[in-house]
Amino acid sequence: SAAEKGGYDYFMMKEIMEQPKALKATISPRLDNGQIVLDQLKYTDEDIKNINRIHIVACGSAWHAGIVGKYVIEDLARIPVEVDLASEFRYRNPILNKNDVCIIISQSGETADTLAALREAKRQGIRILSIVNVVGSSIARDSDDVLYTWAGPEIAVATTKGYSTQVALMYLIALKFGQVRGCVSAEEAAKLVAELESVPEKIEQLFALDGKMKELAEGHANAKDVFIIGRGIDYAVALECSLKLKEISYIHSEAYAAGELKHGTISLIEEGTLVVAIATQDTLYEKLVSNVKEVKARGANVLAIAKEGNTEIAEVADEVIYIPAIDDRFTASLDVIPMQLFAYYVAVARGCDVDKPRNLAKSVTVE
């Protein structure tokens, strides 16, 4: 009913709008005077220092959250991270060593491949830390440690707040491990924690783009192919934005690391092809501006996402969406918001059943 949907047409929109609240619920209880406290984690500082390698294993959007995790954990905690699709990990004879940790990410806690991967890692004696939204789910029960994403129930098949809260936990883990391992100073950690805490409010600000994203979505509702490009964490986000679009609107879309364009995708750019360029890494901004020029020269229609103040891209892109300024590492939490809205409105414009896309299930409990 409309009441269940909080007055919105679809659960997906209700859940998009619930993200600031879900993030506060996930982040706040883990902060104490600017310090990160992961109480539920039964790791001593010694355990954290001894971690040799992290294997992040998940499916779908949870796998995308894991890719953000790789970037930030390697960057802040200097621990090598591998990210695997559960359906690959379980059958590929992975190399797991004694001091490795397996991080399993799953909103439902019931995805069959993810659960099987967990059991394989466990059989090999690796400590399992899971990031789960559903309390008491199979994955939560089978793990050594669980950090819950407090997103609340998610009904729409395409995840929004589930993904965002998983990403938030990746940040908390990276910061905590980085600090314990002496890679992040107390001062730097305090600064980064403050940035992380600013995310919910910045998402609220991004909701002001609702009308703009609807208008853009209606203009691109008949697109045949969409390419979403980015570098670094922006590439990890591009993967999620692309999945959102194809899941609910049935438009073919591909995420590409912008530097790889010239090794393939650029051949698919035709007059009018929509390219979404995520350019929110300060250190990679100039590179993205060049990539936008490359696709523009082949006729692409470019929608860019940039940080407020970085206006150079407006000279080359057709449209620019600005996100509030934030440390490069946390852009993943902001970039995804306008693209969730975009995917939603494209799906609505095409008359799709947003909450129940064809052929997909919320939780895939069979292989």
> Which residues form the interface with ligand G6P (CB under 6 A)?
59-62, 106-108, 111, 114, 157-159, 360, 362-364
Nearer to ligand G6P, 19 or 107 (CB): 107
Nearest to 62 by CA among 37, 33, 87: 87
Compare residues 161 and 202 and give the one whose CB is closer to ligand G6P: 161
Which of 124/363 has CB closer to ligand G6P?
363
Is 98 in the active site? no
| Residue 336 Cβ vs ligand G6P, minimum distance, rounded to whole Å | 13
Report which residue type is found at 114: T
Which of 21, 191, 246, 362 is flagged as catalytic?
362
CB of 166 to ligand G6P, least distance (A): 8
Burial label, 136 (beta-carbon count in 10 A; 0-12, 13-18, 19+): exposed
Between strands 252-257 and 274-279, the pairing is: unpaired
- How far is the C-alpha of 365 from the C-alpha of 363, rounded, in Å? 6
When the beta carbons of 43 and 89 are compared against ligand G6P, the nearer one is: 89
* Cα→Cα distances 274→43, 250, 262, 266, 341, Å: 46, 15, 17, 12, 16
Least distance to ligand G6P from the beta carbon of 361, Å?
A: 6
As measured in angstroms, the least distance from the Cβ of 159 to ligand G6P is 4
Contact status, residue 190 vs residue 50, Cβ threshold 8 Å: no
What's the min distance (Å) between Cβ of 189 and ligand G6P? 28
Is 161:168 a contact under the CB 8 Å cutoff? no
Residue among 209 and 364 whose Cβ is closer to ligand G6P: 364
Reduced to 3 states (helix: H, G, I; strand: E, B; else coil), residue 317 is coil
User: Residues 6 or more apart from 295 whose CB is under 8 A from it?
Assistant: 227, 229, 261, 266, 269, 273, 275, 277, 302
Q: Looking at the annotation, which residues are catalytic?
A: 362
